[in-house]
Structure 1
Amino acid sequence: MFCNQCEQTAKGTGCTVVGVCGKKPDIAALQDLLLYALKGLSIFAQEGRNQGLVDDEVNLFTYQALFTTVTNVNFDATRLQELILQCLALREKLKVQVASKGGQVDFSCPSTTFQGATELAKLVEQGEEVGLLTDKEANADIQSLQATMIYGIKGLAAYADHAYILGKSDDKVAAYIHEALASIGNKSLTLQDWIGLTLKCGEINLLAMQLLDEANTGTYGHPVPTSVPLGHKKGKAILVSGHDLKDLEELLKQTDGKGIYIYTHGEMLPTHGYPDLKKYEHFYGHYGTAWQNQKKEFKEFPGAILMTTNCIQEPQDLYKENIFTSGLVAWPGVAHVDKEDFTPLIEKALTMPGFAEDEEKGQVLTGFARDAILNVADAVVNEVKEGNIKHFFLVGGCDGAKPGRSYYTDFVEKAPQDTVILTLACGKFRFFDSQLGDIGGIPRLLDVGQCNDAYSAIQVAVALSNAFDCEVNDLPLSLVLSWYEQKAVAILLTLLHLGIKNIRIGPSLPAFITPNVLNVLVENFNIKPISTVEEDLDAILN
C-alpha cells in the first residue's frame, strides 16, 4: 500500500505497511480500486454532458464514493466491495445512455472497460495493480498537482454530499469532479494545465461550501451565540460525533420524550448554536474534545455513541458494543444504523447506566457564524477604528495526534490582549475552553463553527474588507491553519482561488507537495510553514 493523503502519514512521506489511521493494506487497495472505477465512470459522465445527459444518481454516487475514501470514514472491506460493484454497474448503465444519445462509448482508457472480480480477495488484488498516481514515468510536479487535486476533490465531495442530504446541489460541482478524475493520465495536459485544474478545485469548492451554508442555515436557522455546558445531567445518554446535522436532527426527534440526553463530541459542538436544533430540551451539552482523543474519552462515556461522517478510530473492546455508525462511516463488527430508524442505538442507550449525577464543568461559547458576527459588525469596526482591536487571527483547521500541535494552543494564549481569535473546525479543541476575556463586550475567542462552516469565515473576511474599503489581504487579519485530512486541502485551495496570501500552515507541509510546487505557492501566495509562536507573532504584528 501507499497512502500520503493525511498530515500524519508515516515518516512524513507515506504509509506503506499500515495506515496511521488504522487502514489496512486490503482497505487501501479497495479504496484505490474504487477511485479507479470512478475514473471510468467519470469519463462516461463527462461524455454524457457533452450530449446533454446529466444523471443525478451518478452525481450523488460520485460524492458518496469519494467521501468514502476520506481519512477515518470507511474501514469495512465488504462495504467497499459493494461500492466498487455499484460503480461498475452505474458505468455500464451510463454507457448505454450515452450511446443512445450518439455519444462516444469506446475509449482507450482501461478504467472504462475493466471488470470487477466477484470474490473480495480478487478485488483486493485488482486494487493492488491500479492506482491513479502509479505512473512511474510521470513528471513529479504534475503528479504532485494531481495528488493535490484528488485529495481536494475528496474534500469537495464531502461538502457536496452534506449539502445534497439537505436538498442543495449544483451540477457544476459534479461536472468539475468528473472532469478532474477523467483527466488523470491525460498525457497532453501540461504543468500549467494541471495548475489551473487544481486551483479550479478551490473555485468549485467555494460553490459547494456556499450550497452547504445555504442548506444548513435554510434548514436549521442561522447559528446564534450559545453557551454550551461541558458537564452532564443525571440520566441516560447518547454521544454524537462527526459533522452530519441531519443525523443529529433525526436522533433528537426520535429520542424526544424518552429520557435520554444528547451530547456532542468533536466537530458537532457548533450544532448547539442552530435554533432548530437547540430547541430540543434534551439536547444538553458537549463531551470530550477532538476526534483523536476518542479512544480515551469514549471508554468513559456511560451511554451509546453515534459516529457520523469522517471521524472514527478503531473502537476499543471496552466500548465496541456501545458504538454505532451511520451514513458512509463503517468499521468491521460495528453496528450500522440508518437515520430513518435509530431504534438499535436508542435501545442500547436505555440499557446503559447513563450518568449517575449532575456535573458542572463550566461552559464554552459557540455559534459565532457569519450572521452572528455581521450583526455586530459596526461594533467590531468601531473597536478597530478606536485602536482597541489591533489584529484578527483565524486559528483553526484540523486537530491530530502528531507532535507539534501545541503550537496552536501557545499561539492563542500568547496572542496580545488587543487581538481577536476566530476559530473553526476541530483545531479549536487545542484552546476552545480558554478564558480570553472580551474587548468592548466582543469575546476575544469566536467559534465560527465546523470545518463545514469555512464559508462563514470567508464571508466575515469579505464583509470586513468591505467595511474598511480594502482588499482582504490588506486587513489586519492573519490565517494560521492546521491541516490533517482532505477537506482541509479543499479549503486551502479555495483560499488560494480567492487570492488570499500570507497563510501560515502546519504542523508540517503535505507530503504530496514537491519542492517546485511549493515554490509556486510561495511565489504566488506567500504561503509558509509555521515556525515558533514568538517568531510568527513578531513577523505578523511588527
Structure 2
Amino acid sequence: MVKALASTTKNLSVDQMVGLVMEAGQTAVTTMALLDKANTSTYGHPEMTKVRIGVGKRPGILVSGHDLKDFKELLDQSKNAGIDIYTHSEMLPANYYPEFKKYSHFYGNYGNAWWKQDTEFASFNGPILMTTNCITPVKDAYKNRFYTTGNAGYPGVKHIADRKEGGAKDFSVIIEQAKTCQPPTQIETGEIIGGFAHNQVMALADKVVAAVKSGAIKRFVVMAGCDGRHKTRQYFTDVAENLPEGTIILTAGCAKYRYNKLQLGDIGGIPRVLDAGQCNDSYSLAVIALKLKEVFGLNDINELPLSFDIAWYEQKAVAVLLALLFLGVKKIRLGPTLPAFLSANVAKVLVEKFDIKPTGEVKEDTAAMMAGN
C-alpha cells in the first residue's frame, strides 16, 4: 500500500503503473489464500450442503457479516439456551462448514442480500448480530435488538466488545434478549444448495471433466460479486435464466441471491449454480479455474470454456478484480455500473491490456459468452 501511494508522486509510464496493479493483485491472491487456509484448517473444508431457508418454532439470533470466529463463539455460548441461530446474507456459507454442522440449534439461513435487511430484520423478531459490513440505516422496528461487533458499528446501537487475549467475546446479552423474543416470521420455505469451494469441486473433478468432454457442460460462467438494490441488477437474474441448460454458474459473494433460489436444475447431478461462499471465497473460483486448466492440459486460463460476468460494487470487489487480472483472466464483463475510478484513460488501459468490457443487453451478452467472447 505504501509503495502504491508513493508511486502517485512519480511520473510513471503506463506499463510501470500496470505492474503495480499486478503486484496489488498478487497481494490480493496471497491474502485470500491465507484466509482460505485459516478458515478451512479451523472449520473444515466447505462441503455440498442443503440449507433450510424456512424457520423453526423457537426464538432465534440472526448473524450477518463475514466473521466465522464470532459465529463459532456465539454457537458455543447459545447451544443450551433453547434458541436457534440463523445466518443472513454473506454469513450463509457458514452452513457449508463441517465444524458448524455439529450444532443442532444452527437452523439455517434467513433472508437475502444485505440491502433487504430493513424488512428482513424487522420480520426476524429476534436479535441481529452484525459481525462486519454491510449495514443499512437501522430502523426503529429492530434498533433495540440490533448489535454490532468488531469493526462494525452504528450510532445508538449496542456493541459487543472485542475478546481479551486468549478469550472469547461475551454474547450473553444477545442470548438473553433472544429468549424473550418471538420466533422469526416465515418469509420463504424450502432449501438452497451450496458449499462448492475448491476442495468440494475438485472432489467432483472426474464427473465435471466427463461432462465437459461429453458436451453436457458447454460453458462455465463466473457470476460472483456483490448485489445491490438498483433495478438494473435484475440483469444477473435474467442472464442466469437465459443461459443454456449446458452451462454451470460459479458464484461467490452476495450476488448469488440474484439466482441461487431459481430452479435451474442440474447437469448429471451437478447443480447448475455452484456457490463457493463469501466474497473473499472468490479465491476458490480462481483455484477451480486453475485446476481445470491443469486437468485439461491447457497453457492459458483463457482457453477454458469459461466466462466472467461480474456484479460490481466497490469495497472488496477491487481486490477481487485485481486478483483476477493478476491471474491472467481476460474478457471480464463488469456491471451494471462501472467502478468509480474508471476514468477514460484507465478504461483505455483496461480494455487494451485485459479486454475488460461493461455488461450490456442480456441476450447479446449471453450469446457472446457462449461464443467465448
Q: How does 1:78-477 map to 2 (within 5 A)?
A: 177-181=1-5, 183=6, 185-338=8-161, 340-355=169-184, 361-470=189-298, 471-477=300-306
Q: CA deviation at 1:234?
A: 0.3
Q: Which amino acid aligns with 2:222?
A: L
**Residues of 2 paired with 1:535 and 1:360: CA distance?**
33
CA change 1:388–1:191 in 2 (3 A) is: closer
Q: CA deviation at 1:485?
A: 2.2
Give the SS at the match of 2:123.
coil
CA change 1:444–1:188 in 2 (3 A) is: closer
CA distances 1:83-109 after superposition (whole Å, capped 9, x unpaired): xxxxxxxxxxxxxxxxxxxxxxxxxxx
Q: CA deviation at 1:320?
A: 0.5
Q: Which amino acid aligns with 1:444?
A: R
Q: Which amino acid aligns with 2:228?
A: G
Calculate percent identity across the aligned residue pairs. Answer: 51
Q: CA deviation at 1:457?
A: 0.6
TM-score normalised over the length of structure 1: 0.65
Of structures 1 and 2, the larger Rg is shown by 1
For the 8 Å contact 2:253–2:278, the answer to whether it is kept is: yes
> Which residue does the alignment assign to 1:533?
362
For the 8 Å contact 2:313–2:339, the answer to whether it is kept is: no
Greater helix content: 1
The answer to whether 1:478 aligns with 2:307 is: yes
**Residues of 1 paired with 2:190 and 2:155: CA distance?**
37
**Residues of 1 paired with 2:104 and 2:155: CA distance?**
34
> Which residue does the alignment assign to 1:489?
318
CA distances 1:483-531 after superposition (whole Å, capped 9, x unpaired): 1122111100111111100111100111221111111111111110000
For the 8 Å contact 1:337–1:345, the answer to whether it is kept is: no
Q: Which amino acid aligns with 1:475?
A: L
Q: CA deviation at 1:188?
A: 4.9
Gaps of 5+ in 1: 1-176
Give the SS at the match of 1:228.
strand
Q: CA deviation at 1:360?
A: 7.3
Tell me how many residue pairs correspond in the alignment: 364
The answer to whether 1:501 aligns with 2:330 is: yes
CA distances 1:436-465 after superposition (whole Å, capped 9, x unpaired): 111111111111111111111111001111
**Residues of 1 paired with 2:234 and 2:183: CA distance?**
33
CA change 1:359–1:479 in 2 (3 A) is: closer
For the 8 Å contact 1:233–1:359, the answer to whether it is kept is: no
Give the SS at the match of 2:231.
coil
Q: CA deviation at 1:189?
A: 4.4
Q: CA deviation at 1:354?
A: 2.3
Q: CA deviation at 1:350?
A: 1.5
CA distances 1:390-421 after superposition (whole Å, capped 9, x unpaired): 11111120001123100000000111011111
**Residues of 2 paired with 1:285 and 1:223: CA distance?**
15
**Residues of 1 paired with 2:326 and 2:252: CA distance?**
20
Give the SS at the match of 1:361.
coil
TM-score normalised over the length of structure 2: 0.94
